[in-house]
């Protein structure tokens, strides 16, 4: 973890406090481009920033927030979406989080790459940013390329030492936080994630920049979260602004300092972390449990974990060459934990899939006449006979075969010594990595056949994943052919 203390003089700290007390209204510069909740400074290019405002989950100041969005756009060179979320107490948790996730899906639907997107949150908005990251990671949805959290509440149990140590120094107080927590949570647990981010599993989050003033009562909330993220293998920087109170970044001078540091941080090359196969395996196990797979298999969570446990060592034993790239948005993932259809029926698992951040369940197309789906079974080359669960490694959705006749694509994959994906493996791909299913880059599943010319496929229909089929001789410009390097079975 990289910790930086940003120095300031007592005079500068006093100016910030006086400025926060006055809070003068500053007009939006005339060169700002405003379209609904989107704000752009001159020269804003590709990518996007999702700006999540503060206000104790209960207040909003649209004019001031548009000005902040303009400053963010100027600093990052990207258009900024001001997220207008529902407010407590009328709309307590999880309303605001749901609105942020919906806004994120809207950005992705515009064709913006997740990797070129930044989440920026301040105070309550910073808490929502961290909560959203945890929820996206839990569900396997697309994550932004980076996130900035300024003065977040990360522990609604309010156990940070700075709550008492900085009481009286800050413009914020423990009493205010008590009221904020009660309004926002409205009975939800203060020690559970994602609402209380410090209590979540932080593994697999994108790189983070956290900032806080050293006089803030929430100083330890930022510091403890940064330490926990670092321990979880996340690339994290913590900037501590000397002598500064809560909301210091709203001042013109200190805001400029923060935005300058943020711009330089965004421009720094990110060190590529080593792939942690065991951590990814554990995530996929939790993901299946969250999707209700134990109940489908007639097991409790503990017995389901025991069922797949032997495969953890198989995941760790795979080589870098077998893994391949880890770029889910590009449809390339190191491995998938697959549960056989004899254990969990395909008809039950498809409705448990969604698009990234979506709510509509996946479905099986009506073109599968009753009873026909069970006749689409693994071919001799793809069969994992007698196995209840296994690993599929080196997975690619095969967009290079978009527009290619499926029969030709299948032959080309076989010549490369790769294996086609079955129906259950395709469902596993979008269950673990919903972001791998992209408009105009969907995929066929040539590893399951029923003896005729139909080839199963998964694509997007009615804003949800759909399992259907196409003819092996008919090419589609939006449909490739998924494949993998092979299967590892362990002792399951």
- The residues assigned a catalytic role are 123, 216, 246
Within 370-463, strands assigned E span 377-378, 389-396, 419-420, 442-444, 448-449, 454-461
Tokens 């649209």 — which residue? 62
Residues 122, 54: Cα–Cα separation, whole Å: 5
C-beta separation of 411 from 455 below 8 A: no
Residues 164, 160: Cα–Cα separation, whole Å: 8
Tokens 């010594």 — which residue? 417
Tokens of 130: 């961290």
Q: What is the DSSP string of 342-367?
A: TTS-HHHHGGG--STT--SPPEE-TT
Give the CA distances from residue 110 to residues 107, 113, 412, in Å, rounded to whole numbers and listed in that order: 5, 9, 33
372-407: string of b/e by CB count within 10 Å (b at 16+)? ebeebebeeebebeebebbbbbbbbbbbebbebbbb
Tokens of 333: 């993932």
**What is the bridge-based pairing of β-strands 363-364 and 464-471?**
parallel
C-beta separation of 135 from 255 below 8 A: no
Tokens of 19: 């400025």
Residues 399, 476: Cα–Cα separation, whole Å: 11
352: left (phi over 0), alpha (psi -120 to 50) or beta: alpha
């Amino acid at each position: 973890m990289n910790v930086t203390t940003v120095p300031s003089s007592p005079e500068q700290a006093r100016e910030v406090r006086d400025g926060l007390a006055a809070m003068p209204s500053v007009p939006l510069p005339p060169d700002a481009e405003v379209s609904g909740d989107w704000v752009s400074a001159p020269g804003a290019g590709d990518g996007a920033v999702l700006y999540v405002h503060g206000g104790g989950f209960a207040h909003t100041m649209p004019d001031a927030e548009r000005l902040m969005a303009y400053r963010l756009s100027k600093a990052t060179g990207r258009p900024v979406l001001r997220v207008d979320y529902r407010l407590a107490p009328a709309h307590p948790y999880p309303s605001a989080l749901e609105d942020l996730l919906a806004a994120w899906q809207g950005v992705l639907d515009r064709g913006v790459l997740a990797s070129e997107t930044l989440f920026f949150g301040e105070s309550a908005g910073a808490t929502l940013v961290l909560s959203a990251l945890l929820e996206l990671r839990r569900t396997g949805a697309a994550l932004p390329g980076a996130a900035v959290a300024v003065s977040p509440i990360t522990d609604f149990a309010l156990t940070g030492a700075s709550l008492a140590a900085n009481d009286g120094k800050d413009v914020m107080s423990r009493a205010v936080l008590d009221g904020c927590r009660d309004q926002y949570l409205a009975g939800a647990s203060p020690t559970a994630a994602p609402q209380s981010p410090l209590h979540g599993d932080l593994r697999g989050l994108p790189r983070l920049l956290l900032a806080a003033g050293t006089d803030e009562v929430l100083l330890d909330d930022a510091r403890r979260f940064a330490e926990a993220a670092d321990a979880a293998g996340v690339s994290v920087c913590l900037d501590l602004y000397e002598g500064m109170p809560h909301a210091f970044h709203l001042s013109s001078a200190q805001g400029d300092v923060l935005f300058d540091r943020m711009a330089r941080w965004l421009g720094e090359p990110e060190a590529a972390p080593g792939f942690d196969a065991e951590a990814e395996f554990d995530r996929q196990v939790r993901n299946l449990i969250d999707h209700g797979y134990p109940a489908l298999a007639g097991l409790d969570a503990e017995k389901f974990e025991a069922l797949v446990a032997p495969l953890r060592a198989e995941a760790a034993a795979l080589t870098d060459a077998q893994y391949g790239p880890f770029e889910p948005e590009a449809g390339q993932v190191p491995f998938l934990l697959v549960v056989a259809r004899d254990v969990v029926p395909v008809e039950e698992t498809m409705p448990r899939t969604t698009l990234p951040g979506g709510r509509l369940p996946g479905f099986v197309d009506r073109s599968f006449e009753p009873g026909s789906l069970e006749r689409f079974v693994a071919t001799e080359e793809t069969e994992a006979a007698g196995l209840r669960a296994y690993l599929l490694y080196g997975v690619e959705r095969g967009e290079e075969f978009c527009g290619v006749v499926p029969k030709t694509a299948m032959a080309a994959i076989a010549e490369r010594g790769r294996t086609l994906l079955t129906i259950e493996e395709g469902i596993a791909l979008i269950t673990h990595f919903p972001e791998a299913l992209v408009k105009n880059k969907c995929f066929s599943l040539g590893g399951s056949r029923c003896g005729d010319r139909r080839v199963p496929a998964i694509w997007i229909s009615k804003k949800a994943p759909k399992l259907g089929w196409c003819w092996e001789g008919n090419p589609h410009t939006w449909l490739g052919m998924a494949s993998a390097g092979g299967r590892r079975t362990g002792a399951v």
